[in-house]
Structure 1
């Protein structure tokens, strides 16, 4: 119980700043003897408070992004529900081949985001086009697909969100991180509500992770908001690399 609670605290903190907290809680839940599907469902339920508290901790960075958040949340809701359905309908290993590819590509995009954003801005200047505040259909579609994965498993989901938004939105990494926390909260919540009626879960694990992630999410947001863009980007890439290695070795 102490290990599950501590994993919840760590996952909540990491999710609010970077993402990939599931890679802390999921192995711990498996070590307690839960099946992979039960562990995934219990983890999704338990991480809701962490996602919400992380979003609250980043509320200043959300200022002026209400319309954007509402639109992208629709895609997150649809994708999260689809992913949760697939978790119960597909074999447990169905996503294992594609997940490392997605995470690896997301890491490259995050690492080179300043350079890529500069190229995109110069192209807009040449063509005379303006950046769309909501990222357009490409961002909506990409985040919806990422949310399908998030509803299914969610490991490194936040990193995929950051990479997509970093490419298509002209915003600071901290403001994008704030949006990421809201979208993650939407996906976790809709998937968890689906699981409540359609899957088995362990209430003890859920409660321990919920309390831990709630504390960790808010604390992580308080610390993460003080990071410079470079430090935050390095942290994202570092944690994401660890996540990628763990996914490849599973």
Structure 2
């Protein structure tokens, strides 16, 4: 990869994506368009972006281990749904034509931006709903939760941005009220769904490693510095910035496809 302006922007965007994910989420709004900008075909760009950002998700599981202990019985069904849905989404992505996927990109970014914009009200609702609720074992109706989680995880394997808030809402609607338990189960589910998609992309040779490794390093550095500096940043400003970026990128790709 030559370090022209697009290559430099990929480094900067990956760094900022890692920082955003540490502070507010939504880093893919920057990293995915950036890797497209260096000439990577859209499907390979999505696969490479998923692989590059996945290690940061995996390492976050350890932080939620104590909260997972109360719902170990849910990890099996939710993990199975994540693996089924994520694998199916990844395979369908690889069987989508490049031009077809490129036409879907602005719509996927728009959906992700809307989900992210809704995340603030969703988080407030979850916090109010779960205030004072102790971490206890819950027994939601498993079959409908399992089937709906497969659908959400299919989206994660196919594109994925913003799906975490869908999972949080789904778990809350099925009776899980403690916000820490919801976050813990969300992290495990999204990590497994993205993880199996990562395996699919690697096995099928869809990852451009010269871009991926560079993105991994710069995103990890951005995540570390973002986590340290984010404590001094107003999260509302960070969230507003991410939402603006999301809608701007969706608008740009609508314009690009029209021309």
How does the TM-score come out when normalised to structure 2? 0.71
RMSD after superposition: 3.7
Q: Aligned residue for 2:51?
A: 45
Structure 1 residue 47 displacement after superposition = 1.5
Task: Quote the offset at 1:197 in angstroms.
Answer: 2.4
In structure 2, runs of 5+ residues without a counterpart are 1-6, 130-136, 254-259
CA contact (8 A) 2:86 2:194 kept: yes
Query: Matched residue pairs, number?
Result: 236
Q: Which has the higher contact order (CA 8 A, sep 6+)?
A: 1
Q: 1:94 to 1:186 in 2, by over 3 A?
A: same
For residues 146 and 67 of structure 1, the distance between their equivalents in structure 2, rounded to whole angstroms, comes to 20
With over 3 angstroms needed to count, the CA separation of the structure-2 counterparts of 1:195 and 1:22, relative to structure 1, is same
- Specify the structure having the higher radius of gyration (Cα): 2
User: Is 1:71 the counterpart of 2:80 in the alignment?
Assistant: no
Q: Select the residue among 47, 56, 67 that pairs with 2:62.
A: 56
Question: Residues 194 and 133 (structure 1 numbering): CA distance in 2 closer, same or farther, change over 3 Å?
Answer: same
Helix, strand or coil for the counterpart of 1:4?
helix
Structure 2 counterpart of 1:170: 177
2: CA distance between counterparts of 1:200 and 1:45?
10
Question: In the alignment, does 2:240 pair up with 1:200?
Answer: no
Out of 236, 242, 246, the position equivalent to 1:243 is: 246
1:200 aligned counterpart, secondary structure: coil
Query: Deviation of residue 106 (structure 1)?
Result: 7.1
Segments of 5+ residues of structure 1 without an aligned counterpart are: 120-130
In 1, Cα distance between the equivalents of 2:196 and 2:109? 21
CA 1:101–1:52: 2 relative to 1, 3 Å: closer
TM-aligned CA distance change 1:211 to 1:53, over 3 Å: farther
User: How far does residue 78 in structure 1 lie from its aligned partner after superposition?
Assistant: 0.8
